Structure 1
């Protein structure tokens, strides 16, 4: 995110989203359907309102240009957007309300009210003028007609000539206006817009190129869920395609991830980033949003997100929780892992085979310096985290600052602590800590002749 407050204008359709959560342990006597005992009823702005909420929570100066009905849900929406300047016109239709009923982590049903396609609304002069002076514009089209209005399209076209415009399209909405900076359809939407068959990167590459030409826009980023996004753009030599991988996260509810991505792209563009770099920022923002709990992280008074892994995008506690919930065994190991080598890879693979997930406790840069001297580590902790997570056998990483990982271990209490070395399990200092909750300590095969010190010395000789 930018260090300075940016003025972002969000244009689009605003909905009232209601999340009803509860428990269910019986069926109704009237019909074989579950009875839900409601525990919470959370209301929030959805659609363009959700994008505005995210940007305002990030500390930006946000204006929402939308249309609203003359009804109680519209009044609720205004109260749910206290940090957002709302410039609205009459929609000529009821304000749509979407209610999701969930039991635990499972969606049970969604109830839509007032979601019939409304007439194309009128656009007021104030709505058009609200675009003036924006650092970036996000169009959050939810197929309810605002982006079809000729006056709004003309205003957006004029803004796109000098201001970054990010357009998140909808299959029932209008096509983006020509000349915008980037459109961000997901893969399913890209299929519907283009009619191109296929999947994966090959499909996304063809679809992005097709839509850049079809819509006459500067770039199209086809988002591919947890894989990332494929950015297609025009260059002086023709078409360019760039794949932006997503950081690995363990996430539940994906609601709002596309909105978070579009908001992140707009902020990066407003701060001066090129399109591909802006999409990278958007993908990272969406991954972080999911890791923090998704829409639940936006609710006022929500509990803090689980402990995040410094320098990485995986949430170790969430991984551990899910493995335990499925009855699995949590394994942990630790070390500096400064210059990964074959001995490390073999030890980590052997540790992973002991259970259903492997969490690596990694000495931070400060911790490594305290143990090995001022010239270490050779690689910073962010790079070491990234390399560890690139191994299939590593599920999560926890970075710790102390000389030993005892406090880190107490945070997630692994069932097994595995360590490679030429010593016995009872010699390991972590044995005392693991005994606090009945964990086991084991050693895995040690591979002599392979060490970071030897590898560093060899690199120094080579120069």
Structure 2
């Protein structure tokens, strides 16, 4: 798929290291920098995300003529870039991180420049796009009259996603969707109301003002609100993730939204896809992990947009304790809920290894499971005590456990060590197997029988 990204680019630089002491000159941490990482930011980051997803990414932008521009061009290697001169310094944003946590950011060359010219080659590069993303970072390119005229003409036949900026240009009429975050939407609408009500009111106002087909307000952990003409606002919930740095989430949302619209999805379905993509991006490490080795995709059901292996690794990297348990969980009941809550209290994350439908049939008979694996996984993931679900197809969970390598494996009930062959497996990497109280009055078999009696 050919996706054209048009907008402002900048150079992002990360300086990272440990901070184990304070400066003698002032009570500030001293960061011993041991790694310097650069990447294309702004529209360049959007293009890189699309390229990483296997799409043909074309970046239409303007570039400076300085040392930072040389570094920026290197970070855009592999992406088709059609650029004119910016006539301004290259904006550079440098973040300092200590032990993975942001400490400070300083910006260079970020003063607002004059609106740059747009060459014939830049306009021609828009032709043949399956979708266009207008990534405005307030540097003036999307205020260019000729470029705006061309984007407005394209909007009638090509999905155009406009990611606005408080210092940028107003979206052109007719675009498929405009994607401000909540703070931007409230600022654009001149509203002081917050939360979902504020997002809905701002979206209605902006929908009428901008003349777009939809306004999608991203609300961080609260998901996104989709407003389209003639329809009630729809709130798309966000999967639960923990991320110390939300940088790039809006770019990931816009890129996934454009691809989904180009595939022919409705705007609400596209917003669901984009919300899940942004959550997975943050949960997988965000911009810090972009471009890293992909490895083999884990065989599992990503019901919450965040795979179980990533949860386990992230917890270990933070020095936490990984807890896992397993079972069929057919007809989720109070006994399950108590067992899972007790297991979660033993560590810093709880991963449920869930028997697939085929596995349940092998264990329980052809009439089971009662509820299919996708629904069972979704119900489990909805519990606050469950951080991720890993579906496995074998009759026993040893293979799944080997991949997760939990610090603690939990079973409900009274077992001896010889009754649980997985206990020996867990001990090989220093893990422990423990049990939590089982509630005999609650069982799936008894619940299924009671349901059968009432029809």
Q: Same fold (TM over 0.5)?
A: yes
Equivalent residues of 1:416, 1:442 under 8 A apart:
no
In the alignment, which residue of structure 1 is the partner of 2:43? 48
Instruction: Decide which moves more: 58-67 or 21-30.
Output: 21-30
Equivalent residues of 1:165, 1:266 under 8 A apart:
yes
Q: Secondary structure at the match of 1:333?
A: strand
Equivalent residues of 2:301, 2:307 under 8 A apart:
no
Q: 1:126 to 1:323 in 2, by over 3 A?
A: closer
Deviations 1:86-120 (A, max 9, x none): 11111110111111111112112212111111011
In the alignment, which residue of structure 2 is the partner of 1:13? 8
CA distance in 2 between counterparts of 1:232 and 1:91 reads 35
1:293 aligns with 2:285: yes
Deviations 1:252-300 (A, max 9, x none): 322111000000000011111111111111111111211221112323x
1:249 aligns with 2:241: yes
Among candidates 389, 394, 406, match of residue 381 of structure 2: 389
Instruction: Decide which moves more: 268-277 or 244-253.
Output: 244-253
Equivalent residues of 1:120, 1:148 under 8 A apart:
yes
CA distance in 1 between counterparts of 2:133 and 2:365 reads 49
In the alignment, which residue of structure 2 is the partner of 1:311? 302
Equivalent residues of 2:152, 2:173 under 8 A apart:
yes
Deviations 1:317-362 (A, max 9, x none): 5555666678766543210112223332233234334555433221
| Structure 2 unaligned spans of 5+ | none
Among candidates 441, 451, 454, match of residue 434 of structure 2: 441
| Structure 1 unaligned spans of 5+ | 1-5
In the alignment, which residue of structure 2 is the partner of 1:272? 264
TM superposition shift of 1:314: 3.1
Aligned residue pairs, count: 453
Among candidates 304, 310, 335, match of residue 327 of structure 2: 335
CA distance in 2 between counterparts of 1:285 and 1:322 reads 18
1:263 aligns with 2:255: yes
Instruction: Decide which moves more: 319-328 or 394-403.
Output: 319-328
In the alignment, which residue of structure 2 is the partner of 1:3? none
Report the aligned-residue RMSD. 2.6
Equivalent residues of 2:7, 2:137 under 8 A apart:
yes
Alignment of 1:47-446 (within 5 A): 47-235=42-230, 239-299=231-291, 301-302=292-293, 304=295, 310-312=301-303, 313-316=305-308, 319-320=311-312, 330-421=322-413, 427-436=419-428, 437=430, 439-446=432-439
Equivalent residues of 1:425, 1:442 under 8 A apart:
no
State the TM-score, normalized to the length of structure 1: 0.89
CA distance in 2 between counterparts of 1:423 and 1:45 reads 55
Equivalent residues of 2:7, 2:141 under 8 A apart:
yes
TM superposition shift of 1:31: 4.2
